[in-house]
């Protein structure tokens, strides 16, 4: 089972700050990298699915980049808002199943 790591484990930022976090995964046999947003008491919801090296995806103030050769992806949030508070999960596809990292818990204070 491949190892998907996320850092930091948690992050506290002020409203308006920009922030980013990292997902690391094995670069061999790469198929796809998923990012999910998980709010407290809700279910995870997909943000991005990325497959190509150098891929960049954007949804509003959130964007992600992918480097498959070195095995990492960054998630960026520009001008964080309290409603961005959530756990952000990345997951890497391994042959026929999706393996999740432990997540980065983001708290944005007003």
Please report, as ranges, the residues that interact with another protein according to CB under 8 A.
1, 31-32, 34, 36, 42-46, 49, 51, 89, 91, 93, 96-103
CB of 40 to another protein, least distance (A): 12
CB of 41 to another protein, least distance (A): 9
Contact 88, 80 (CB under 8 A): no
98 CA to centre of own chain: 14
CB of 65 to another protein, least distance (A): 17
Nearest to 29 by CA among 73, 74, 94: 94
């Amino acid at each position: 089972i491949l190892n998907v790591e996320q850092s930091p484990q948690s992050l506290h930022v002020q409203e308006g700050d920009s922030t980013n976090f990292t997902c690391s995964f094995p670069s061999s046999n790469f198929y796809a990298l998923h990012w999910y947003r998980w709010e407290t008491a809700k279910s995870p919801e997909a943000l991005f699915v990325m497959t190509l090296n150098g891929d960049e995806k954007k949804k509003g103030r959130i964007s992600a980049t992918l480097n498959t050769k070195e095995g990492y992806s960054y998630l960026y949030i520009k001008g964080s808002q309290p409603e961005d508070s959530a756990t952000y999960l990345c997951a890497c596809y391994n042959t026929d199943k999706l393996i999740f990292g432990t997540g980065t818990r983001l708290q944005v204070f007003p």
